[in-house]
Amino acid sequence: MRILVTGAAGFIGFHTVNHLLKSGFQVTGLDNLNDYYSPQLKLDRLSELGVTDLDASANEPVSSVGHRDFQFIRMDLLNFPELCDLVRTRDFDCIIHLAAQAGVRYSLENPHSYIKNNVEGFLNILETCRHLSTPRLIYASSSSVYGGNEKLPYQESDPVDDPVSLYAVTKRSNELMAHTYRNLYGIRSMGLRFFTVYGPWGRPDMAYYTFTEKILQGEPLPVFNHGRQSRSFSYVSDVVEALNKLLHRLLHDQGDPVKILNIGGAQEIPLMDFIAKLEKALNRKATINFLPAQPGDVQSTQPDLTQLHHLIGELSLTDLDTGIGHFIDWYNRYYNRKQK
């Protein structure tokens, strides 16, 4: 079966492509390789998939073949005619849409990028599905849509009308757009609300990544809301395993799929406990710089996974100590190699 993965050079996108290839799918990956964070990290992820002939500074579309069942195409989803031309010629069985302008805090600095990439880009995906008979879609939403909700754990049926960041607004708009296109045009879609995904090959703007860097460099950690935060951390392999099982269900089950699902680790971890685990794994003590709450942040996140378990059974989730260990092992290998 043929799958299109957008954001294929991104963190979750890279791991998703890797998993799909191991599962026997033919995969086409799209990414514009933007510079929100290091394009070199994105190129190195693609290199792991066998794509080695790309130049991050080039602007023109580039098509490269890596693994025998993987083709990567550098493309911006805002180029709707180009996207349509691709989908028209491939006859994809499903689109997995993971491309987005990520980051809650950056949405305070560059709001236009979020509307363009997360709203207009998603509209282009939906319109492509509509006009070119690709009726199945899995797309990334976010736990950020729960916003100011104080009831934990978050359930998919909870109200989500109190967003605290523009990033959350764009992700909630995706859910509403997908709902409308399902009703109007029969596009069968699943929106996955991811909860703080971490692990090897991760995003350098995420707290666990920057904390690791600063602890190793002896720099103070900026800890907002004076450390009074907690998160449900989701190891990337667990997230991708769940996504793969949902894909199989969407491809083979003729029933109406669940529209929105929480995807994440079930346990809520206080931020200061998480930092202590990092300190232990790195065998170094962190210097903490406590700061006031940051606009756009929420105090706690925790998913109710009942609907997910009902669809695909319970997952064997990676415990946080093991996941942190895997990330640090990768981090040390990756940056030691870069420094040689």
Q: How confident is the model over 108-164, as pLDDT tens digits?
A: 889 999 999 999 999 999 999 998 877 899 999 999 999 988 899 999 999 999 999
Q: Average pLDDT, whole number, for the chain?
A: 91
Cα dihedral sign for 102, 173, 225, 303?
A: negative
Least confident residue range of 65-69, 301-305, 308-312, 314-318: 65-69
Residue 60 has pLDDT above 70, yes or no: no
* pLDDT at site 65: 61
Pick the closest to residue 99 from 125, 129, 136, 67 (CA basis): 125
Q: Which of 66-75, 255-264, 298-307 has the highest mean pLDDT?
A: 298-307
On whether the pTM is more than 0.75, the answer is yes
To the query of whether residue 167 is one of the catalytic residues in this protein, the response is yes
The stretch 45-58 carries a mean pLDDT of 81
The stretch 55-82 carries a mean pLDDT of 78
Whole-number percent of the chain with pLDDT over 90 = 78
* pLDDT at site 254: 62
Extents of the domains making up the chain = 2-203+233-265+302-323
Q: How confident is the model over 21-49, as pLDDT tens digits?
A: 999 999 999 999 999 999 999 999 999 99
* pLDDT at site 337: 62
The stretch 250-259 carries a mean pLDDT of 78
Q: How far apart are CA 6 and CA 76, in angstroms?
A: 10
CA distances from 63 to 34, 47, 73, 81, 185 (A): 16, 14, 4, 16, 31
Q: Which CATH class is domain 2-203+233-265+302-323?
A: alpha beta
* pLDDT at site 56: 64
Under the banding of pLDDT at 50, 70 and 90, the label for residue 58 is low
Q: Which of 139, 167, 181, 235 is catalytic?
A: 167
Residue 340 has pLDDT above 50, yes or no: no
The helix (run of H) or strand (run of E) holding residue 223 is strand 221-223
CA distances from 261 to 28, 149, 302, 303 (A): 25, 17, 13, 10
Q: How confident is the model over 256-295, as pLDDT tens digits?
A: 777 899 999 878 899 999 999 999 999 999 999 999 988 8
Residue 46 and residue 11 in contact, taking contact as beta carbons nearer than 8 Å: no
The stretch 304-329 carries a mean pLDDT of 94
CA distances from 317 to 5, 133, 193, 237, 293 (A): 24, 36, 17, 9, 30
Least confident residue range of 58-67, 172-181, 211-220: 58-67
The stretch 230-249 carries a mean pLDDT of 95
How many contiguous H segments (helices) and E segments (strands) does the chain have?
A: 12, 14
